[in-house]
């Protein structure tokens, strides 16, 4: 039996990871530590069976983290907990620095004290910044653009420093854009799907030609499971879907699946510091035996269908904190365009 601490497991990727691990590793005891910010909900794990416990708590609260590590002798720690939305980081960076940097450090101190077998830091391809052509490898320089990306880069560097300084057995993943079920409808794919279902405008930043590399969340979770078991300690692993698309192409595919009109796309002011294109090489991960299994067209169609079938879930979110955020962030959508 392995005792596994998953932080941020009530969010999008973390909840998918817990579901998958509960199925793949029935011998695991999974403890989910999550602060339940606006982005997290225990609804995301409803119906989960197996040896699973939820603890509400903040990874930056050292008393909470120390008490938890005192209660369980963890074998593995997988740190998903983070503030994750670029636009929110631009409006207000403070929570990002607190959770993504200080929270990561708080966890690492507990890990160092207790001596776990493996700590996995979930990071992002955004730490490399934009790439006009080609793709970034794990040893490419870090040039984060947004406060979100900078906080993830800083947290990840603290993780690597613990390996070099104390020999803490860490692995860092840097994945590209995930999509799939249970994603909070502030990110472009679930926002576009749910707005389109309700015949609301789909906000498109700039010229809509920014490129992201789409990775189905299940492929990301399988990669994380692999590096947890077979990744080399101290190493960084990129995880990319190898499926690049412009934002316009993604929203057009969503509209086509829903039989909605392209006229729903509404061009709005660009995101400050908006990275044009992300791309990473995944040779290190592929050498361990991983390859993405979900083709983007098929995964996107499945995702649209999932949101149609789970409208109760996202309508509850959209009737809460989301509304004030949306009104604030997309105020210009309300204004008449000349």
Q: Is 203 a binder of ligand DAU (CB under 6 A)?
A: yes
Decide if residue 100 touches ligand DAU (CB under 6 A): no
Token pair in block for residue 317: 């979110």
Q: Could you say which of 34, 58, 100, 126 is catalytic?
A: 126
174 part of the interface to ligand DAU, by CB under 6 A: no
Q: How far is CA 164 from CA 113, 128, 170, in A?
A: 16, 21, 10
Catalytic, 125? Answer yes
Q: β-pairing, 236-239 with 170-175?
A: parallel
Structure tokens at 271: 């995101």
- 156: its two tokens: 């990840």
Give the active site residue among 34, 58, 100, 125: 125
* Residues in region 256-285 near ligand DAU by CB under 6 A: 271, 278
Binding partner selected for residue 12 from ligand DAU, ligand NAD, none, CB under the kind-specific 5 to 8 Å limit: ligand NAD
Task: State which of residues 78, 97, 122, 317 lies at the interface with ligand NAD (CB under 6 A).
Answer: 122
Q: Hey, what are 261's tokens?
A: 């009109």
90 contacts which partner out of ligand NAD, ligand DAU, none, CB within 5 to 8 A by kind? none
Structure tokens at 290: 């991983």
At 249, list the tokens. Answer: 């192409």
66: Cα within 13 Å, side-chain hemisphere = 5
Rounded to a whole number of angstroms, the minimum distance from the CB of residue 47 to ligand DAU is 26
Selection from ligand DAU, ligand NAD, none that 129 binds (CB < 5 to 8 A by kind) is none
CB-nearer residue toward ligand DAU: 116 or 190: 190
DSSP label at residue 103 = I
Give the span between the Cα atoms of 249 and 260, in whole angstroms.
14
Name the site residues for ligand DAU (rule: CB under 6 A): 84-86, 124-126, 176-177, 187-188, 191, 203-205, 210, 212, 247, 271, 278
């Amino acid at each position: 039996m392995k005792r596994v601490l998953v932080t941020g497991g009530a969010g999008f990727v973390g909840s998918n990871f817990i579901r998958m691990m509960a199925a793949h590793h029935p011998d695991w005891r999974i403890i989910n530590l999550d602060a339940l910010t606006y982005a997290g909900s225990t609804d995301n794990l409803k119906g989960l069976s197996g040896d699973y416990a939820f603890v509400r708590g903040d990874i930056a609260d050292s008393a909470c983290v120390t008490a938890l590590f005192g209660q369980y002798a963890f074998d593995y720690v997988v740190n998903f907990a983070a503030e994750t939305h670029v636009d929110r980081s631009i409006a207000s960076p403070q929570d990002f620095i607190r959770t993504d940097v200080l929270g990561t450090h708080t966890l690492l101190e507990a890990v160092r004290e207790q001596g776990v077998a493996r700590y996995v830091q979930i990071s992002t391809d955004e730490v490399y910044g934009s790439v006009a052509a080609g793709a970034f490898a794990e040893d490419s320089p870090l040039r984060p653009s947004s406060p979100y990306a900078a906080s993830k880069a800083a947290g990840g560097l603290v993780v690597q420093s613990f390996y070099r300084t104390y020999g803490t057995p860490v692995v860092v993943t840097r994945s590209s854009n995930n999509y799939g079920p249970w994603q909070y409808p502030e990110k472009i794919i679930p926002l576009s799907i749910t707005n389109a279902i309700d015949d609301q405008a789909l906000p498109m930043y700039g010229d809509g030609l920014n490129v992201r590399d789409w990775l189905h969340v299940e492929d990301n979770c399988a990669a994380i499971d692999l590096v947890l078991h077979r990744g080399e300690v101290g190493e960084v692993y990129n995880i990319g879907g190898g499926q690049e698309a412009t934002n316009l192409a993604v929203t057009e595919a969503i509209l086509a699946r829903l039989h909605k009109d392209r006229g729903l796309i509404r061009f709005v002011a660009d995101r400050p510091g908006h990275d044009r294109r992300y791309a990473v090489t995944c040779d290190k991960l592929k050498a361990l035996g991983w390859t993405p299994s979900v083709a983007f067209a098929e995964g996107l169609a499945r995702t649209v269908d999932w949101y149609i079938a789970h409208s109760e879930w996202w309508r509850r979110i959209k009737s809460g904190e989301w509304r004030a955020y949306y009104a604030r962030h997309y105020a210009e959508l309300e204004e008449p365009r000349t």
